[in-house]
Amino acid sequence: MAQKVVTSILDDIDGSDAAETVRFALDGKAYEIDLSAAHAKKFRKSLDPYVKAARKVRKTRGRNGRG
């Protein structure tokens, strides 16, 4: 018997179909959220002034010398 498994990703804000998973970090904690295209655009637009004023941080090496 053949089976077809379908995984749907839903927008974490309103439960509609999600277009992407957005990853971000704040206060040393990493997060991810599944968002529709409209919510992802709104999220990025709301962060835009802060991103433009911020400095990019390079990855630092751990104590064992590996990235």
Model pLDDT for residues 4-49, shown as the tens digit of each residue: 999 999 999 999 999 999 999 999 999 999 999 999 999 999 999 9
Q: Is residue 8 part of a domain?
A: no
pTM: 0.76
Q: Is residue 60 part of a domain?
A: no
Q: Is residue 41 part of a domain?
A: yes
Name the residue range of residue 33's domain: 20-53
67 has pLDDT over 80: no
How many domains are there within the chain?
1
Neighbours of 36 (CB within 10 A): 20
The single residue listed with the structure tokens 């655009």 is: 41
pLDDT band at 55 (very low <50, low <70, confident <90, very high): very high
Q: Is residue 4 part of a domain?
A: no
- pLDDT given at position 59: 79
Q: Is residue 62 part of a domain?
A: no
CA angle 14, 17, 18 (to 5 degrees): 90
User: Where in 1-67 does DSSP place strands (E)?
Assistant: 20-26, 29-35
Q: Is residue 27 part of a domain?
A: yes
